[in-house]
Amino acid sequence: MSIPIAKKEDGPKKFINGYGEVEWLAGVHPLVHSFKCELKAGHTVKPETFEDKTAVYCFVKGTGYITTSEKAYNIEELAFFVPDFDHDTFSIYAATDLEIVKFVVDMLESDKAKYRSSHMVLPMFKTLSTAEKYTQACKGPHTTSWSIINPGKIGRILMGVVKGVGVGEGTVEKGHPSVDQWNYILEGSDILMTVAGEQVHHHEGELSYIYAGPDHSLVPAGAGKTVFYIWFEHQTAEYKPE
């Protein structure tokens, strides 16, 4: 097995009005599409909105703000935004160069039905400092975990952040056959990732994919090293048309 990893240098090369994006790890999953986006300082972009796709924006570097028809949100640290589908438009302004990881998820009819039954009120904006912390047995004793999207709140999506420093920290997890997982490695990290016995050095600015099932771990690469990453999970589904 070769672990799919998008490299930092594989970011956007073409920019229009200061904005560029490129799909990362294209084809690894039929419903989830991941993108690396960059918005240059002083520029504004008005992203596409979707009627039946969930979009999740992770602001991983830089500062700026988001505006909707009703509110503005300051981007001053690691931040996350989920727009209200196509019910409203929004714009992103970059005060300094912004780096963004975007996930666009196709919704099955069963996802739409579940969403109509119960869901998080959108739009959602959350920063790392306002996110709730949680503990988990598969994490190191001094590793901090934050919840960004809880199960059942936006279709099949779950998302969180993990940070730990030093030997014995990070995540060592038994395989979860019910979810596929993406990992975006944040600034300052030096990580050893193991999936089904295969080990790779995972660097900041990279995105990896772990298919549902195998045991996996993301731990600091040595004494004094940091593990700091966003995990994005999608509950497995039958991909045939419903």
Task: Give me the chain's average pLDDT, please.
Answer: 94
Residue 240 is predicted with a pLDDT of: 44
Query: What's the mean pLDDT in 134-138?
Result: 94
Confidence of residue 238 (pLDDT cuts 50, 70, 90): low
Q: In sequence order, which residues have a C-beta less than 8 Å from that of residue 58 and are 6 or more positions away?
A: 78, 79, 80, 100, 101, 102, 103, 184, 230
Residue 114 is predicted with a pLDDT of: 86
Query: What's the mean pLDDT in 192-208?
Result: 96
Question: 0.85 exceeded by the pTM?
Answer: yes
Confidence of residue 239 (pLDDT cuts 50, 70, 90): low
What is the distance between the alpha carbons of residues 25 and 117, in angstroms, rounded to a whole number? 32
